[in-house]
Amino acid sequence: DTEVTQTPKHLVMGMTNKKSLKCEQHMGHRAMYWYKQKAKKPPELMFVYSYEKLSINESVPSRFSPECPNSSLLNLHLHALQPEDSALYLCASSPSTGSTEAFFGQGTRLTVV
Amino acid sequence: GESVGLHLPTLSVQEGDNSIINCAYSNSASDYFIWYKQESGKGPQFIIDIRSNMDKRQGQRVTVLLNKTVKHLSLQIAATQPGDSAVYFCAEKGRGDDKIIFGKGTRLHILP
């Protein structure tokens, strides 16, 4: 199984809502990532987890809250988002943070209204 | 911020011809340079990487060239096929760094 599964595929939320994005991998990878991608732009790194511990937070606003409950799961909790946070949110995993090959999910298309 | 970027946003290539996608970088401390491909509606997919102490690496139908003198990276795709149609991103990873940082993409369009 070389798949990273993200749910939901699409999400529309209001600015006062709380929602969560979920990501799962069963490749035994110990590094997991969240990226944000706006249309026609490259993915921008948000968070890196290594062995279930937060390794990097790229100065992401606190309305985005990551969580890694176990080695297979990665969540991104969303609260009080702004319309400009609308984007494709991509989850990825790799064997370790030293790897150059990251396996990406299909992403969650988020629209904030 | 991004330390890698691309010269051309769109490249159109005849099916069967070779494609060359270019990338300029500014971070001399990068340990690896990486190419990813992103098809419409999908996440990026790893193609090939090259360590900073190498100048050429070949994969299946792809070759990556690294010119450290002019800080230039290229991806050559041989005998371009319709399935190669995608956005191609160069990316970089620093030594001991946990980050993979993406540069701007080039859309490869295959002409029939």
Q: Over the stretch A50-61, which tens digit does the pLDDT of each residue have? A: 999 999 999 999
Cβ–Cβ below 8 Å for B44 and A50: no
Kindly report the backbone phi and psi dihedral angles of residue A59, in degrees, each rounded to the nearest multiple of 5, phi listed first: 55, 45
**Predicted pLDDT at A10:** 98
Over residues B89-97, mean pLDDT: 92
Cβ–Cβ below 8 Å for A45 and B41: no
Q: Mutate one of B73, B98, B104 to test the A interface: name it (highest A CB count within 10 A).
A: B98
Question: Closest to B44 (Cβ–Cβ): which among A31, A43, A44?
Answer: A43
Please state, in angstroms and rounded to a whole number, the distance separating the CA atoms of residues A48 and A34: 7
Structure tokens at B31: 């340990």
**Predicted pLDDT at B95:** 86
Q: Mutate one of B49, B100, B104 to test the A interface: name it (highest A CB count within 10 A).
A: B100
Cβ–Cβ below 8 Å for A31 and B98: yes
**Predicted pLDDT at B8:** 52
pLDDT digits (tens, 9 = 90+) for B13-39: 999 999 999 999 888 889 999 999 999
**Predicted pLDDT at B64:** 98
**How do strand A53-57 and strand A64-70 relate by DSSP bridges?**
unpaired
Cα dihedral B3, B8, B10, B14 sign: negative
Residue B6 reports pLDDT greater than 80: no
Kindly report the backbone phi and psi dihedral angles of residue B7, in degrees, each rounded to the nearest multiple of 5, phi listed first: -80, -40
pLDDT digits (tens, 9 = 90+) for A73-106: 999 999 999 999 999 999 999 999 999 999 999 9
Q: Which residues in chain A are contacts of B42 at CB distance < 8 A?
A: 104, 106
Over residues B46-71, mean pLDDT: 96
Q: Is the separation of the CB atoms in B5 and B23 below 8 Å?
A: yes
B97 — pLDDT class (breaks 50, 70, 90): confident
For residue A75, the one-letter residue type is N
Nearest CA in chain B to A45: B101
For residue B95, the one-letter residue type is R
Residue B2 reports pLDDT greater than 60: no
> For A102, which DSSP code?
P
Over residues A38-59, mean pLDDT: 96
Please state, in angstroms and rounded to a whole number, the distance separating the CA atoms of residues B79 and B106: 18
Per-residue CA distances from B71 to A28, B24, B68, B94 (Å): 35, 6, 5, 15
B3 — pLDDT class (breaks 50, 70, 90): low
**Predicted pLDDT at B42:** 96
B45 — pLDDT class (breaks 50, 70, 90): very high
* Distance between start and end Cα atoms, chain A: 36
What percent of chain B is predicted at pLDDT more than 90?
81
Q: What is the nearest CA distance from B102 to chain A, expressed in angstroms?
A: 6
Residues with Cβ within 8 Å of B69's Cβ and at least 6 positions away in sequence, in order, are none
**Which of 11-30 (A) contact B at CB < 8 A?**
none
Over residues A21-39, mean pLDDT: 97
